[in-house]
Structure 1
Amino acid sequence: MLKQHLQQKLLQKLSPQQIQFIKLLQVPTVALDTRIKEELEENPALEDPSLMTAEEPKGEYDDLNDTSDDYDSSANETSSTDEFNVDDYLQDDNTNDYSTNYNNSDDDEEKKETPIAIEITFFESLQEQLDLTPLSDEDFIIGKQIIGSLDDDGYLRRPLTSMIDDLAFSQNVMVEEADVLEILRLIQSFDPPGIGARDLKECLLIQLKRKDANNPIIVKAMNIVENYLDEFTRKHYDKLEKSLGLDSEELKEVVNEILRLNPKPGDANQVTTKQMQIIPDFHISNNENVLTLTLNSKNAPELKVSRSYQEMFEHYDKSSAKDKKLKEAVQFVKMKLDSARWFIDAIKQRQQTLLKTMNAIMHYQYEYFLTADERKMRPMILKDIADKIDMDISTVSRVANSKYVQTEFGTFLLKSFFSEAIQTENGEEVSNKEVKKILEDCIGNEDKRKPLADEKLTDILKEKGYNIARRTVAKYREQMNIPVARLRKEL
């Protein structure tokens, strides 16, 4: 049985403007320009004066004032109460209400273009070397198949049998495994040395075989790679000395020779297109111990509402007849003008939020930005900044996770300034960044022949007043990408 009943609910919903602001807030500076260009393409009512090369044509929409006999204008007169307020969409020549002029950097600096190095990938280099090698048509096809099967680091991890099947089905070339192996040996003689290897051992051996075969150090290095690679990678130097009958000085020479080899020959020749260009969102300068914060001018583009679209409202206001065609056009213009105004407001709000958040972070970590000493960094969590600027934690998180600040001692992600608090024996709260810095200094100054184990590092920290468990020391060491003591050992 169907029933009807009334129910009241209190729901929290985000408006389209709020959603747009949130999306813009988490966009980094390097991607903001692309986002603005997308909006300019989608919304003709939005303009960027810096991109305009000529004056806008006048009277472009005059024909919309003409009434058409095809529509019954009398039917539209009854809806006069639903007219738009033209004053809301008109503005004079002063566009300050809709522009976001904000420039904190030198104009010459903004005009500089980032140079792009034109390099060829190691795939192209190998193909060029293959083109210059006299081969039969069949061998040339096999060579192209091998080069195309290499990974980005230069290794061939695909089984030869799989390539033989590909050659048979896609190229209609029937070959034996020995034929493919012969061409593989040829490609392994190409530059860079070690290319085309099927594992690390083969890669290192290829490089060593290109060196002086009469050099006893090279011979011993080849022996270690061939027969004792596992002991070498685990740094069991005592076992190597005993197995090879070498003293520590001789082993040190052999190990250094192996360490000079390139374990990833493809990476050294690969164009670094995968690395994202970092454009700092903020700049902090130190002027006689007074910090000054500026926002990258790319975060504050000069945008305005199209004047031609505003003139459409003027024409509509002056027109006595309100036919259906004109009404639909004005509805479209209203939607685009609203969208342009919302976008400009979102950009301005984004700019203000970025400055407000970064200013709070700068003052919270004032001593650190003055001295560049990580031991001066205070414990700081998202809630600390959110309380200072009276904003939600999620807003601070969106800023911290995607924005960078350029200082006189480097460029950093804002997220790196947030850290947990650790209590010392005196009851004082310090940042775990300070503990990590002490760990880094201890490991950096240790005797590499007898590196400090985690237990020893824990004792050192306790002597300095930091009562931290060994597992916490291990966690911090792993966060800093520092290997265990055994793998830090050197001869």
Structure 2
Amino acid sequence: NLADDERTDATEFARSQESLQSFLHRQALSLRLNENDQAALRFLIESLNDDGYLEDSLPALASTLAGDDNDQFDELVHHFQVALGLLQSLEPVGVGARSLGECLTIQLRELAHANEDSDEAQVRKTAIAICKQPMELLAKRDFKRLATLTRSNEDEVRAALQLIARLEPKPGRRFVDVERNVVVPDVIVTRIGNGTNARFRVMLNPDVMPRLRVHDIYAGALKQHKGEGSQALSQRLQEARWFIKNIQQRFDTILRVSNAIVERQKSFFVHGELAMRPLVLREIADELGLHESTISRVTTAKYMATPYGTVELKYFFGSALGTETGGNASSTAVRALIKQFVSAEDIKKPLSDSQVSEMLKEQGIECARRTVAKYREALRIAPANLRKAL
């Protein structure tokens, strides 16, 4: 078993309604880090998904902060690499992994102990070797293939798979609280009119906007204060006003970006996700005269309430796939089609990725089998053989 005391600690914290991020930040306080490494670790913790995985690569995370500054980019990647090692040493074991294989491997290495006998050590070694193989083989329980790839016998593979089955594939699972994860939209889009005359009004959600102002009494007192320290007090007043102005500018930018998104994705607001058009961050950045990294920050963890539900602003961005007519189809729309095909399939004969690719081709969309597989995995849809088994 994984260290029972560690598992209990994590569970107790979860029951006390503490989030995964808060639990990790509390542990990070005990680490003696310099300011840069501390900031990098804090950033990685905040970048984890609900399952405790780091979905974005370290270079991708660094580029969102560094922009076009190559020197700063290299420095950030270095700090993130140090921080990743620290993050993966925290509880719950397996947190901070970038893939299922890495998550399971971290947990298996944690199982090593001084009294481990040779048989236990061999099973654990085999399990680690299995986790380096494609996860499809693990899901299929392909003992022969796994035995060949790991240079083990089938009995060792069976024992290793039993060990792996006791691990936690989603380290952050026990911290998830549905009530705490209710999304409050930052922007609300309402429909005005019907049919081709339909318009959409975009407004900021007043519930998420902080009501900030410098109280007139304090501002007046500071202006009249001419004695010792008046300069320092005036500076504080100016800083407060700049802070309020920056907050207002931030929400103004969110509103500008949201308006630009609604204008370009009007078909989505009329017809739904199947009508989504290709859109990249640079298009919005160029239109608004902002840097691409600014658009990236504004659209991350910011949500819009639409006639089709509440979605993250990043949802509206997707790459383009070619069509027979020479036009482009949005990857978001293609994912929606794949989801539609799978939901309507015969459960006795589920569709393979190749069949879905052919069906998309019939719709005039060029989408290779490998691309279908990537989109299917992003939608958390199991492969055909496992859908049939389920």
TM bin, normalised by shorter chain, reads 0.5 to 0.7
Instruction: Tell me the equivalent position of 1:475.
Output: 374
Task: Kindly indicate which of the two structures has a greater share of residues assigned to helix.
Answer: 2
Offset of 1:313 from its aligned partner?
Answer: 2.6
Q: What secondary structure sits across from 1:419 in the alignment?
A: coil
Map 1:184-263 to 2 at 5 A: 234=140
In structure 2, what residue type is equivalent to 1:368?
F
Offset of 1:378 from its aligned partner?
Answer: 1.0
Q: Pick from 343, 348, 364: which aligns with 2:264? A: 364
Instruction: Tell me the equivalent position of 1:311.
Output: 221
Offset of 1:310 from its aligned partner?
Answer: 2.9
Instruction: Tell me the equivalent position of 1:410.
Output: 309
Offset of 1:452 from its aligned partner?
Answer: 1.7
In structure 1, what residue type is equivalent to 2:140?
R
Superposed CA RMSD in Å reads 4.0
In 1: Cα distance, 2:282 partner to 2:137 partner = 49
Structure 2 residue 288 is the aligned partner of structure 1 residue 288 = no
Map 1:304-383 to 2 at 5 A: 304-306=213-215, 307-316=217-226, 326-327=227-228, 329-371=229-271, 373-383=272-282
Q: What secondary structure sits across from 2:221 in the alignment?
A: helix
Offset of 1:490 from its aligned partner?
Answer: 4.0
Instruction: Tell me the equivalent position of 1:464.
Output: 363
In 1: Cα distance, 2:328 partner to 2:139 partner = 40
Tell me whether 385-394 or 269-278 shows the greater mean CA deviation. Answer: 269-278
Offset of 1:392 from its aligned partner?
Answer: 1.9
Unaligned runs of 5+ in 2: 1-90, 95-106, 117-135, 143-166
Q: Pick from 211, 220, 228: which aligns with 1:302? A: 211
Compute the TM-score of the two structures, normalised by the length of structure 2.
0.53
Over residues 143-167 of structure 1, what are the superposed CA-to-partner deviations in whole Å (9 max), with x where a residue is unaligned? xxxxxx9999xxx9997998x99xx
Instruction: Tell me the equivalent position of 2:46.
Output: none
Higher relative contact order (CA 8 A, sep 6+): 1
Pair 1:459–1:291, CA change in 2 (3 A): same
Offset of 1:302 from its aligned partner?
Answer: 2.9
Offset of 1:415 from its aligned partner?
Answer: 0.4
Structure 2 residue 359 is the aligned partner of structure 1 residue 453 = no
Offset of 1:344 from its aligned partner?
Answer: 1.2
In 1: Cα distance, 2:266 partner to 2:346 partner = 35
Offset of 1:309 from its aligned partner?
Answer: 4.3
Contact 1:382 / 1:396 at 8 angstroms: preserved in 2? yes
In 1: Cα distance, 2:261 partner to 2:291 partner = 15
Q: What secondary structure sits across from 1:305 in the alignment?
A: coil
Map 1:75-94 to 2 at 5 A: none
In structure 1, what residue type is equivalent to 2:321?
I
In 2: Cα distance, 1:423 partner to 1:352 partner = 35
Compute the TM-score of the two structures, normalised by the length of structure 1.
0.43
Pair 1:339–1:366, CA change in 2 (3 A): same
Q: What secondary structure sits across from 2:233 in the alignment?
A: helix
Offset of 1:393 from its aligned partner?
Answer: 1.4
Pair 1:349–1:459, CA change in 2 (3 A): same
Residues paired across the two proteins, number:
245
In 2: Cα distance, 1:331 partner to 1:150 partner = 50
Over residues 385-407 of structure 1, what are the superposed CA-to-partner deviations in whole Å (9 max), with x where a residue is unaligned? 11222222122111111210112
Offset of 1:456 from its aligned partner?
Answer: 1.7
In structure 1, what residue type is equivalent to 2:186?
D
Contact 2:329 / 2:365 at 8 angstroms: preserved in 1? no
Over residues 268-306 of structure 1, what are the superposed CA-to-partner deviations in whole Å (9 max), with x where a residue is unaligned? x95744964422101112233332212011443332224
Instruction: Tell me the equivalent position of 2:297.
Output: 398
Offset of 1:338 from its aligned partner?
Answer: 1.2
Over residues 349-390 of structure 1, what are the superposed CA-to-partner deviations in whole Å (9 max), with x where a residue is unaligned? 11211111101111111121123x212111111111112222
In structure 1, what residue type is equivalent to 2:205?
N
Q: What secondary structure sits across from 1:308 in the alignment?
A: helix
Contact 1:449 / 1:490 at 8 angstroms: preserved in 2? no
In structure 2, what residue type is equivalent to 1:234?
K
Offset of 1:413 from its aligned partner?
Answer: 0.5
Instruction: Tell me the equivalent position of 1:216.
Output: none
Among the aligned pairs, what percent are the same residue? 34
In 2: Cα distance, 1:271 partner to 1:390 partner = 40
In 2: Cα distance, 1:232 partner to 1:432 partner = 29
Which of these two proteins has the greater Rg computed from alpha carbons? Answer: 1
Pair 1:475–1:315, CA change in 2 (3 A): closer
In 2: Cα distance, 1:356 partner to 1:160 partner = 54
In 2: Cα distance, 1:160 partner to 1:467 partner = 49
Q: What secondary structure sits across from 1:333 in the alignment?
A: helix
Q: What secondary structure sits across from 2:202 in the alignment?
A: strand
